[in-house]
Structure 1
Amino acid sequence: KMPASFQATYTPIAAAGTPAQIEHLARLLGAQLTAAGYGKGYELMKSQQQVKPPTDDDIEDENPITSIMGVGRDDSFPSSSTDVDIKPTISSMSGNELGDIPSTSAGITTMSTIPSLQQKKMKPFKLADAIKPIEYDEMQRMSTDSFYRILHAEDVCETAGVGHVRKKTMTSLVCLSERSFRDIYEEYIFADVRKRHDLAFAWLYQEYVYANGYLSILDPNKKKDFTKYDDTLCRLLEYLQEKPDQRDGLFSRLLTSAPLITDGALLVLKRYCQDETRSYLGMNTLRDLIFRRMNMREKFLDILLDFTHNENISVRNNAIRIAKSLHDKEEFKQPIERHALQFLKHLTAAQPPEALFGEDKKASTIPSDTWTEDSIRLCLPLYLSLMPSNHHLIQPLATIYTAVNGDIKRVILRVLEIPVRGMGMNSPELLKLVENCPKGAETLITRIIHILTEQAPPSPALVEKVRDLYHKRVSDVRFLIPVLTGLDKKEIISALPKLIKLTQPVVKEVFNRLLGLNTSSETSHASPILPFELLIALHQISSEECELKTVMNAATLCLNERAIYTHDVLAIVIQQLVDINPIPVLFMRTVLQALSFYPKMVGFVMNILQRLITKQAWKQARIWEGFIKCCQKTRPHSFPLLLQLPPPQLKHVFQTAPELRDGLIRHIRSMSMAQRSLIPSSMLTVIEDNSENVAPEIRIQTIPTTTSSMEQ
């Protein structure tokens, strides 16, 4: 059992069992054996004393035992004061004196029982005399070399299972050191950032710990200082930002995992999002930060919403993509809509607001002192993208539309297509807007209805709202154009005089809708009025309702659609028009156009002309004029018809178209005598009335009627 007194004073040796400790114990035992008069060392020492007695200088300058035994001082294991004092004392003892020294039962004299037989003056030991001061540069080199050895001991530490200790040691040294270690550590991490990114994260966490003053053992009174933390975070982010390959997502992981997002880190994030090639990942990072950092959610959301008005289309679209996904969640709906409405209201200002150009106004290429199409478009995309998910937003848009100038209105009308299609014509809010059309928003409503009905037939609800609006509040016929195919035939015919008074492109659109042109088979819708009915309705418009020239232009637009108005369709139109009494004024014009389009219709046209003779077409000046022109165009087919005219009308034909007389005379000459005999004499008189001017060779040769022959 270990005595209590020994146990109280016993101090464990840290290096027990090592070769150095064994060698040290051997030296101590050798010194005691020699002092006790045992061993080879003692005999050798005694023989040397007989040859040359030691002097005081020798005692002070060297240790005889050390010279005999070859044992020197080991700085790693310093000896006790007793060891230092005993060496010169033992060397001056005689044999008898050594014998008088008390020994233990084992024959070993203890160091505490050796009497001081002779006091010698000794030179005091001073550590400063034994060492030299190290220069600062040398210290820096040594510390740097040590840090490099730790860095490159990665494999050894991992094998030994102390990799976490190595990581902790390095991050602590970097945080406590000056710039040199930080640069070395950065270079080491960036050399293979995919493999060593965990060191970067550990370093950042350690900097945060020191910045918060959690390690108070270093400086209990130290205030929080995040300068180094901010510098470290920004340097890491800037390096990851410049990496050509961003697929590993380290930039996003570092930001989302950082214990604190500083203002400097936000600037780096903004630059990352503004890079067109990295904006997709940057906006995704912002979305993750919005969800994970509750205490900074508003700040991150504001940054995202500011990007929805960025000049760069790619950056703007990526920001709007994230904003729309957040808008689906109830907690983000109000702030996003509030921001979008705020920028929409900026359009009512005299000039663009400062907020539209962000922090870097000087770098903007858009004029800031006046509204341009580019600046107008920056205020609209977020608001318009939210309309399909919240149809109530259509009402404020109409209100703002009535308050802005014409340039802004035109831009709004051009960008409406996508959001309006997303809402659909069955939207209750949209139908409500049509029903309660604000004053000054008529063009906006018309554009909305046009968009809704371009690729689909109008719904009954939409047709009803537009019909009521047209009859009760707004008598602008343009409101009816998008829903024409939803009206009945009578309504269309009654609106035709007003519709064809519009500009030619608008009239063209009207006919396209009614005739089913420019529509695919999927979106085609049966028109309430057939093509031949439309053309007949145009012919029946009176001059009081619309000018004749306007009707002519509208009819020409229809006739030019050859795919619709074929040979058969035109035959039906002409057949029905000729039965109307009185015959429409433009009838013969249509006949002539049909004949020019389809020359093979000449036989059908001759039948129509014959019916006109029976209907006494000469009683209508325009019809009679067209009749004569048609006879001119269809000769020689028209000569038999001319012979059916009454003499006064035939004479008028010759007066209007003298060339028909010569042709008709040739036609009569080609007839047989029997056929000639059927021509009334009054008709021949009219034909030969100007026969003296007719060439002899084409003069009609009639059969002379003599008395003898009559008698016979």
Structure 2
Amino acid sequence: TAAAAAASSAPPVPASGGAAAASRVSGVAPAEVSGAALKELLGQLTAALLATGAEPSLRVGGQLGAHHRILGRLASTQPLLSGYQGALLEHALSLPHERHELLLAWAYAEFREHSLERYDELADVLLASLHERLAPNDRLWTKLLLQMPRLPRTVLELLRSDVASAASPRLTLGLTTLRDLALQRDAWRPACLELLLELCTAGSAPLRAPSIRLVVSMAAGEGVAQAAAVDQIAARAHSHAAEELEAALAAEEEEEAARRLPLYLALCNRSPSMLAALLAGFDGASAAAQATVQELLPGLLLHLPMEAVTEVLLAQLRGEPDASPPLAAASPLPLLALHVLADRATAVGGTVPAALTAGVLGLVSRLGPHGGAYAVPLLPFLDESQSVAVLPALLRLDKGDLTEALAALAHAEPPPLAPRALLLQLHLLKPEDGERGVPLKALIDAVQACINEREVFTRAELTAALEEVVQLDPLPLLTMRTIIQTMVNWPDAATAVMGLLRTLLEREVWATKLWGGYVRCCSMAMPLSRELFYAMPPAQLEAALASHPDVKQKLVAHARAERGAVPTAALGVLGL
């Protein structure tokens, strides 16, 4: 107290005097100094430290730290927030980077000598004053918070104000300070982590994004030496994200879902197995949540390892674990994931994992009528045998989806099935009844979809495929329909079509269910098909002309004009 009084009344001491005083205090044993002399020395020392220009000499002499500790101890003997303490605080804050150790020395002296109530009250003033004085991006603030012996609870309010808005000039420093406190001060870890987690679901996206990045990096242990701290942070971050996922999937507004989901998705980026809960909960989610998930998920899947996503997807489709039942219908989210992975592979000229194609194809039949939908995104990556095997499942799709699937097969580079091979395989499929069968209408739609892809199924491809079809035994049910469609879509293929019809006639097509279609095709091809009519057995020719009297009139007119070119049997049927 006497030294403080001396300090307040003593005249300024030159810098050299301060250094000398420092030397005297540090070099003389306490027992050798009388009480009066000690008071005089402390008074001179205080005045020297508060004098402008004293500190450089003390720093050079290595005495500045010792004198900071002496001043801090001296200040701790004064009444709380007295004039002396106020003067010392202003002295420290005038050059905080050079004098922050004085504040620390003072805080430690208070912490050792007084009650926690007095310490907290003083620390509150010290830190609030420092917070106000420092620039918004000054890391000295963080350094002091990490080095203080104890932090008053009011610090949390200062930190909260720093990160209250994306427009706050202290936002970046506030977030990193929360991170450092959570990582390095065990007692403050829960409070700082909870505030960061709260920010991860804030209403402002510019505030959420940096908060999420910090939490994810902390949970991954980046820059953290203590394994225990990482475990605590990771456990709390994952449990909080799971709570937010549950709330997001139940959200009735897309804005709420979009606010709650990003933290979970960001953690999935480090732990792809977390996708399982998202896939399992999707079908029961609100419409708003489903729309939001489908909007956000592709961005995540573009960066996850394909093998990890494959494992999660196949487990979901198989119904693993037991608590997650296998999908009985084409769920939008796994389908979306498959499309994203396929597009990602196509963009880089690569392929999807073999385990994914094999796994999905192995599940197609078990997934029933909707199983083919899961195979569609993977069609460009199948081999020929896999493509043939999946065709029946594709034919169970709706017409629009079926058309899309066949287009994917046809336009793949290179296609797993050449166009003529695809047409041939479609004709080899037999329409059957029952859920597992191939509907006739779907077969018709599939062949028509192929014919409509004129850039791929050219005239040459169609006629080449049909040349193989007309040699099959038994003749496929759609043979005549495909020939007619070829003739309609490619009028200049008439000559090739006549050759196909001639082959069918040689194979006694009248003895099959195709005969009606054959006669219709010949009638459409008149007059090119006259020779085919003349080549029919009399009974079949008579029946054909009975159903197409217009053709009979044309043949009669031709036979009268060129009687010598018409077979005798045909003339008899024509009544000539």
| TM-score, length basis structure 2 | 0.66
2:451 maps to what in 1?
Answer: 559
Deviation at 1:298, TM superposition (A): 3.0
- Decide whether aligned partners of structure 1 residues 533 and 161 sit closer, same or farther in structure 2, where only a CA change above 3 A counts: same
Q: How does 1:150-549 map to 2 (within 5 A)?
A: 176-177=82-83, 198=97, 201=100, 205=104, 208=107, 212=111, 224=118, 226-227=120-121, 229-231=123-125, 233-234=127-128, 237=131, 246=137, 261-276=151-166, 279=171, 282-329=174-221, 330-331=227-228, 332-345=230-243, 371-394=252-275, 415-417=296-298, 418-419=300-301, 422-425=304-307, 430=312, 437=320, 438=322, 439-442=324-327, 443=331, 451-454=340-343, 455=345, 457-463=351-357, 465-466=359-360, 469=363, 477-478=371-372, 480-481=375-376, 492-493=387-388, 495-515=390-410, 517=412, 527=416, 529-544=417-432, 545-549=437-441
Deviation at 1:582, TM superposition (A): 3.6
Q: Is the 8 A contact 2:370 2:396 kept in 1?
A: no
1:625 maps to what in 2?
Answer: 517
Question: Which amino acid in structure 2 is aligned with residue 386 of structure 1?
Answer: L
Question: CA–CA distance in 2 between the matches of 1:508 and 1:406?
Answer: 28
Deviation at 1:543, TM superposition (A): 3.1
The alignment status of 1:584 with 2:476, answered yes or no, reads yes
- Decide whether aligned partners of structure 1 residues 342 and 638 sit closer, same or farther in structure 2, where only a CA change above 3 A counts: same
Question: CA–CA distance in 1 between the matches of 2:132 and 2:398?
Answer: 60
Question: Which amino acid in structure 2 is aligned with residue 440 of structure 1?
Answer: P
Per-residue Cα deviation, 1:212-271 (whole angstroms, up to 9, x for no partner): 586x9xxxx996154464355346546767x6xx5x666656665666554444334334
Deviation at 1:211, TM superposition (A): 6.5
Question: CA–CA distance in 2 between the matches of 1:250 and 1:505?
Answer: 64
Question: CA–CA distance in 2 between the matches of 1:471 and 1:640?
Answer: 48
Question: Which amino acid in structure 2 is aligned with residue 567 of structure 1?
Answer: R
SS at match of 1:324: helix
- Decide whether aligned partners of structure 1 residues 213 and 475 sit closer, same or farther in structure 2, where only a CA change above 3 A counts: same
Q: Is the 8 A contact 2:459 2:490 kept in 1?
A: yes
- Decide whether aligned partners of structure 1 residues 682 and 333 sit closer, same or farther in structure 2, where only a CA change above 3 A counts: same
Question: CA–CA distance in 2 between the matches of 1:227 and 1:276?
Answer: 30
In the alignment of these two chains, the number of paired residues is 495
More helix by share: 2
- Decide whether aligned partners of structure 1 residues 405 and 615 sit closer, same or farther in structure 2, where only a CA change above 3 A counts: same
1:607 maps to what in 2?
Answer: 499
Question: CA–CA distance in 1 between the matches of 2:249 and 2:278?
Answer: 19
Q: Is the 8 A contact 2:306 2:352 kept in 1?
A: no
Q: Is the 8 A contact 1:385 1:419 kept in 2?
A: no
Deviation at 1:594, TM superposition (A): 2.8
Q: Is the 8 A contact 1:484 1:513 kept in 2?
A: yes
Deviation at 1:310, TM superposition (A): 2.6
1:637 maps to what in 2?
Answer: 528
Question: CA–CA distance in 2 between the matches of 1:508 and 1:231?
Answer: 74
Deviation at 1:380, TM superposition (A): 3.6
SS at match of 1:422: coil
Question: Which amino acid in structure 2 is aligned with residue 541 of structure 1?
Answer: L
Task: Identify the range of structure 1 (605-614 vs 660-669) with the bigger mean alpha-carbon deviation.
Answer: 660-669
1:147 maps to what in 2?
Answer: none
Per-residue Cα deviation, 1:337-374 (whole angstroms, up to 9, x for no partner): 4432344256557997xxxxxxxxxxxxxxxxx54344
Question: CA–CA distance in 2 between the matches of 1:408 and 1:585?
Answer: 47
Question: CA–CA distance in 2 between the matches of 1:351 and 1:540?
Answer: 46
Q: Is the 8 A contact 2:273 2:308 kept in 1?
A: no
Deviation at 1:291, TM superposition (A): 3.5
1:61 maps to what in 2?
Answer: none
Question: Which amino acid in structure 2 is aligned with residue 267 of structure 1?
Answer: E
SS at match of 1:387: helix
Task: Identify the range of structure 1 (390-399 vs 373-382) with the bigger mean alpha-carbon deviation.
Answer: 390-399
Q: Is the 8 A contact 1:401 1:441 kept in 2?
A: no
Q: Is the 8 A contact 1:387 1:423 kept in 2?
A: no
1:68 maps to what in 2?
Answer: none
Per-residue Cα deviation, 1:365-421 (whole angstroms, up to 9, x for no partner): xxxxx5434434444433333335335545555665687677756755665442596
Deviation at 1:318, TM superposition (A): 1.8
- Decide whether aligned partners of structure 1 residues 254 and 222 sit closer, same or farther in structure 2, where only a CA change above 3 A counts: closer
- Decide whether aligned partners of structure 1 residues 457 and 227 sit closer, same or farther in structure 2, where only a CA change above 3 A counts: same
SS at match of 1:605: helix
Question: CA–CA distance in 1 between the matches of 2:124 and 2:394?
Answer: 70
Q: Is the 8 A contact 2:166 2:207 kept in 1?
A: yes
Q: Is the 8 A contact 1:587 1:623 kept in 2?
A: no
Q: Is the 8 A contact 2:410 2:419 kept in 1?
A: yes
1:131 maps to what in 2?
Answer: none
Question: Which amino acid in structure 2 is aligned with residue 679 of structure 1?
Answer: V
Question: CA–CA distance in 2 between the matches of 1:560 and 1:240?
Answer: 73
Deviation at 1:588, TM superposition (A): 2.7
- Decide whether aligned partners of structure 1 residues 286 and 625 sit closer, same or farther in structure 2, where only a CA change above 3 A counts: same
Q: Is the 8 A contact 1:256 1:289 kept in 2?
A: yes
- Decide whether aligned partners of structure 1 residues 197 and 555 sit closer, same or farther in structure 2, where only a CA change above 3 A counts: farther
Deviation at 1:574, TM superposition (A): 1.0
Deviation at 1:432, TM superposition (A): 5.5
Per-residue Cα deviation, 1:163-201 (whole angstroms, up to 9, x for no partner): 999x999xx999755999999999x96xxxxxx553785
Question: CA–CA distance in 2 between the matches of 1:474 and 1:660?
Answer: 48
Question: Which amino acid in structure 2 is aligned with residue 422 of structure 1?
Answer: L
Question: CA–CA distance in 2 between the matches of 1:546 and 1:222?
Answer: 82
Q: Is the 8 A contact 2:424 2:469 kept in 1?
A: yes
Q: Could you tell me which runs of 5 or more consecutive residues in structure 1 were left unpaired when the two chains were aligned.
A: 1-13, 16-149, 190-195, 353-369, 690-712
Deviation at 1:599, TM superposition (A): 3.3
Q: Alignment identity in percent?
A: 23
Question: CA–CA distance in 1 between the matches of 2:454 and 2:267?
Answer: 44
Question: CA–CA distance in 2 between the matches of 1:625 and 1:614?
Answer: 16
- Decide whether aligned partners of structure 1 residues 618 and 157 sit closer, same or farther in structure 2, where only a CA change above 3 A counts: same
Deviation at 1:570, TM superposition (A): 1.3
2:14 maps to what in 1?
Answer: none
Task: Identify the range of structure 1 (444-453 vs 558-567) with the bigger mean alpha-carbon deviation.
Answer: 444-453
Question: Which amino acid in structure 2 is aligned with residue 603 of structure 1?
Answer: T
Question: CA–CA distance in 1 between the matches of 2:557 and 2:148?
Answer: 107
1:361 maps to what in 2?
Answer: none
Q: Is the 8 A contact 1:559 1:565 kept in 2?
A: yes
Of structures 1 and 2, the one with the larger relative CO (CA 8 A, separation 6+) is: 2
Q: How does 1:50-89 map to 2 (within 5 A)?
A: none
